[in-house]
Structure 1
């Protein structure tokens, strides 16, 4: 780029080349290099014309390059280069006047020895010749000019690129393995026709290569980098809340307790709004999320907390008593934040290409609600970056504080993590929803920064209110029947006492009516289809025509006074001791039952077994006892005779002698 022009500078104007032959403060005279004519133009107009291309001469280009290199040096190196240039300029001036240069080399060496560690006369001579040939640029260390470096052979670069591409999905190794494979590839392809550099040079080549250098790093990071699209990243914008929503699932690094007490890793599914960074719904499951669970997540996003079915708030108060009772927190304070969470209707949802996201159940649920689906590119997390980064924020702000957090990898996992105190699935769900309503929705988000004041960020709730002030619009939320219609379905049977579901019994005042109608008109079989919420065990709903009949769970010990304390005391017992007692009891019960069993065809063995295992001296039941009395091996005497023949008790009299003898 030319900063200052003068006589002799060339330019291209309307596809014709010109050279400046004269210039003053107002006009510039140009002469055509292709035709015999001149042109006079206004100087200010010439430099502003868009169709004029200026051509820099070699001197200006070299000067600009030298200036950029000198500006890139650190302060110490720049000070040394300037000192060399100052002393060598004196030597060059003396040489131009006809004096020999060797006379001044000693003075330069003495002066530069104060700034550099080692300086010899040969160094001064070499620096002087470079200064005369290249100017100040010749005094710069060659490492800053990429001198002395060997250019990478194209064939070696192609082999490194091949190794980097093939190693994307392979396990990581060391750099020495990469070098061995590089040599083998070059020998197989080119034989002796290629000169393989030294070991150190190959190490530098691998370290500078964009893909081969990742072969000894994290395999997950290498796969993530390979999945990035080759095009430039775009921006996922949204003009209003709900216009662009993203949904995704991930396994969190914390176990949850199932209904039978076993532990299993939980899976988190989140619906994330792009415009105001609100989380519309978040659900945890202890097993892999299926299409019915995904529809349930969508139902929670479409139905505000206050419009959810009966039992939702009661179940939440039950579970939240764990963290509210300890710190004397009023339940209404938590409900206040739940009710303040904005309702946003998702118009367009971006999902990945998972099987559940392409399932018919989820697709039909979105069609019923009038929601458009966009499927991201295969294995391209950059198509839904907001929800992906949201998982990291949830891990940092919520998951890592839970009991049993495993750290994310084996090398970050502790040995003494108290997994026995892991939360139940219902507890984890309600705690997650409270955390989203209280912390996530009221925490400033970096993506909601003011362009004019980047240091000020808004919270999702504040951003939603700002959108509503500028673009007010109303979204009618789902009602009770719509919410229940999105819940998972299951076939059950109406019993005389109610419905069995998930080891619980549910009853309703309309049980007799539904049994008489056959719950669908199928007569005596009395089948039914129920809808259930995995995180609301207090109610199920029976499909009966166009309505959903609620069935409530039969009251349990938690509904009784001090019921919660009883269960806490039951869980506080020594688990190891309790397990040992159960195992011993099971073993003894099995032995007791097996003692009464005789294998068919082996009835004669009963007498033999009874003789071997006869431990009942008070009841003479068994052949072995009779045989033992008829043919005793030895005849006891003294106290043993009295004890045995008296049925275990001696025939005591008032004779003191007998008493003394016995005692």
Structure 2
């Protein structure tokens, strides 16, 4: 309480009026009119506000703002003066008439003597709290509803059931409520009118979105019915969250398949750093989660050979075409902090609960914590990071489909020839994390004393390392390879074929065309494969990983990258119906397999007769008979005598015209 001149205080069990307030002492007046000075220190130790002042707050609460504190103080002082005049001189009416004029002047409105007498009676019975004008408060008191409470209960039951159902009209809700009331209580309950029911429905549905987006309604129903709390990270890696979602971008999986891959990320709560991000073309498996963990545990600078070559090969599209030095991307990738996850929070998906993933985490000393079922707030940081990736990166990517079907355009599939491949999208995502996300101010990393200062994930990690130093040794190259998935292949004389690529090494001389000791794999050898390392795979034998490099060096030749990009674009732009070309191929294959037709007997005789015809200049016999021998040798082919107008060709001759005919 701030005591000023004219106020009252309680000191040592008695009530005093404050007369004068000086820097070192206060002049008080008791009920008998005696005045004396008391120091500030003494009053601060023992003085209390009077009960009437304590009731001022309660009066304000009851009035709910209808009357201000100053107005109540004016009434209290006026009524106190009237009460004092009545007790001392017995002149109540004269005191009331005198206060009417003063109250009208101080309150700025007309005050009647009847109002003053009514206020005085309330003041004598209940104190200052009873003086407050309750008309405005009583006008806002909710009237008792005429609707049967059982109808309200049934309405809330129906609305609670609609959290995961499709959106319908209000008429359906009315029918369901009416059916539920009849089933539980019979015909004794009177249903309200349609207009009244809709008004009650609007009041009960506030905040539930029963007639809005079904996705929003489900998300709101998953929120816990309690106050939200935060658990700040005490150090990097103490609390890490992992989750998987379908990417909102169409990418090219292979030459004939276009789809939306799945994105899995790991987020550190203390620094908001994205430790790892991996795309998979199909549903994420436990082995894919192990790859995510391997990329988080092994920094970019310590990854095996082939990682940088693959990144440079794929990133030429957005680096070299824009005349940006690739070394700038490399420096930012190398500057990412290494954070070892101590505890990982997952959802209840099957890949996260698989024995494979749990065994790998146990071997690495990482604890797993499962989120409560249908409670996305248990891993809110990774859920929010997905939304940030979509708004900051994915919306700029060709083939963005939006967060739902209603936000998707019609020409997404038509642009499939220009979509990024999944390998390009993977490297683009990792470059974006290193360049923008790790160096972008985060709202969750604001200084509590100076909220205008927000740090980036890299800055927050460096600040933690200054105050809470720690030593986490990253995994080595062989540890990274040991976490990669295994495929089994035969080692041929030319090497190993994986995804239509040939990998070879000089160290394969001892393994070529030989079988392994594994009978379960029928003599095939185990090959460790990184899905996003195109240049190197590793042959595992007796605990050693033998690197096998991609033997096709065409992509490293000058201008071959441009040649293959042009060839891929032409290949995708051509409409490959191919039915006509396929018919031609079938016709050639049928003829080659069938050969020439076997000649018939009649046909052979006819061919001999035609060959013996001297009028046939192409006949072999005729050419032999008419052709002279240069060396004078005799021939056995008989020469037929010349005939006058021979007729062997099966056609008639036209005779010369006679004299009679000419006449």
Distance 1:168 1:523, change over 3 A: closer
User: Retained in 1: the 8 A contact 2:491–2:513?
Assistant: no
Alignment match, 1:564: 561
Q: Is 1:348 paired with 2:369?
A: no
Q: Is 1:228 paired with 2:223?
A: yes
Q: In the alignment, which of 193, 202, 209 is matched to residue 188 of structure 2? A: 193
Deviations 1:323-373 (A, max 9, x none): 011110000000010011101111111111111101111111112211111
Q: In the alignment, which of 153, 157, 163 is matched to residue 152 of structure 2? A: 157
Alignment match, 1:296: 291
Residues paired across the two proteins, number: 540
Alignment match, 1:444: 441
Structure 2 counterparts to residues 373-522 of structure 1, below 5 A = 373-417=368-412, 418-515=415-512, 518-520=515-517
Q: Is 1:554 paired with 2:574?
A: no
User: Retained in 1: the 8 A contact 2:147–2:192?
Assistant: no
Q: In the alignment, which of 77, 82, 90 is matched to residue 110 of structure 2? A: 90
User: Retained in 2: the 8 A contact 1:178–1:215?
Assistant: no
- Secondary structure of residue in 1 paired with 2:318: helix
Q: In the alignment, which of 231, 238, 256 is matched to residue 233 of structure 2? A: 238
User: Retained in 2: the 8 A contact 1:520–1:545?
Assistant: no
Distance 1:211 1:382 in 2: 22
Distance 1:263 1:549 in 2: 34
Q: Is 1:587 paired with 2:579?
A: no
- Secondary structure of residue in 2 paired with 1:187: helix
- Secondary structure of residue in 2 paired with 1:495: coil
Structure 2 counterparts to residues 5-16 of structure 1, below 5 A = none
Q: In the alignment, which of 10, 24, 33 is matched to residue 16 of structure 2? A: 24
Deviations 1:432-463 (A, max 9, x none): 00000000000000000001111210000000
Deviations 1:209-258 (A, max 9, x none): 25795321222222222222334332122111011111111001112212
Q: Is 1:528 paired with 2:525?
A: yes
Q: Offset of 1:88 from its aligned partner?
A: 12
- Secondary structure of residue in 2 paired with 1:181: helix
Q: In the alignment, which of 541, 546, 561 is matched to residue 544 of structure 1? A: 541
User: Retained in 1: the 8 A contact 2:490–2:513?
Assistant: no
Q: Offset of 1:541 from its aligned partner?
A: 0.6
Deviations 1:493-528 (A, max 9, x none): 222221121111111111122348854587996421
Distance 2:47 2:360 in 1: 63
Deviations 1:118-139 (A, max 9, x none): xxxxxxxxxxxxxxx9975536
- Secondary structure of residue in 2 paired with 1:551: strand
Tell me, which stretches of 5 or more residues in structure 2 are unaligned? 18-27, 32-41, 69-103, 118-129, 608-615, 620-663
Tell me, which stretches of 5 or more residues in structure 1 are unaligned? 10-19, 30-41, 72-83, 98-132, 599-609, 611-618, 631-643, 648-663
- Secondary structure of residue in 1 paired with 2:372: coil
User: Retained in 2: the 8 A contact 1:493–1:528?
Assistant: yes
Q: TM-score, normalised by structure 2?
A: 0.72
User: Retained in 2: the 8 A contact 1:403–1:419?
Assistant: no
User: Retained in 2: the 8 A contact 1:207–1:213?
Assistant: no
User: Retained in 2: the 8 A contact 1:241–1:276?
Assistant: yes
Alignment match, 1:365: 360
Q: Offset of 1:148 from its aligned partner?
A: 5.0
Distance 1:44 1:578 in 2: 92
Distance 1:471 1:48, change over 3 A: farther
Alignment match, 1:125: none
Q: TM-score, normalised by structure 1?
A: 0.72
Deviations 1:573-623 (A, max 9, x none): 27464413x33222332354467889xxxxxxxxxxx9xxxxxxxx99777
Distance 1:316 1:59 in 2: 72
Distance 1:536 1:28, change over 3 A: farther
Distance 1:366 1:501 in 2: 29
User: Retained in 1: the 8 A contact 2:503–2:551?
Assistant: yes
Structure 2 counterparts to residues 323-334 of structure 1, below 5 A = 323-334=318-329
Distance 1:95 1:511, change over 3 A: closer
Q: Offset of 1:198 from its aligned partner?
A: 2.8
Alignment match, 1:112: none
Distance 1:586 1:221, change over 3 A: same
- Secondary structure of residue in 2 paired with 1:356: helix
- Secondary structure of residue in 1 paired with 2:563: helix
User: Retained in 2: the 8 A contact 1:507–1:554?
Assistant: yes
- Secondary structure of residue in 2 paired with 1:24: strand
Q: Offset of 1:563 from its aligned partner?
A: 1.2
User: Retained in 2: the 8 A contact 1:350–1:384?
Assistant: yes
Distance 2:105 2:284 in 1: 71
Q: Offset of 1:544 from its aligned partner?
A: 0.8
- Secondary structure of residue in 2 paired with 1:230: coil
Distance 2:225 2:207 in 1: 18
Q: Offset of 1:378 from its aligned partner?
A: 1.0
- Secondary structure of residue in 1 paired with 2:545: strand
User: Retained in 1: the 8 A contact 2:208–2:217?
Assistant: no
| Bigger shift: residues 230-239 or 261-270 | 230-239
Alignment match, 1:337: 332
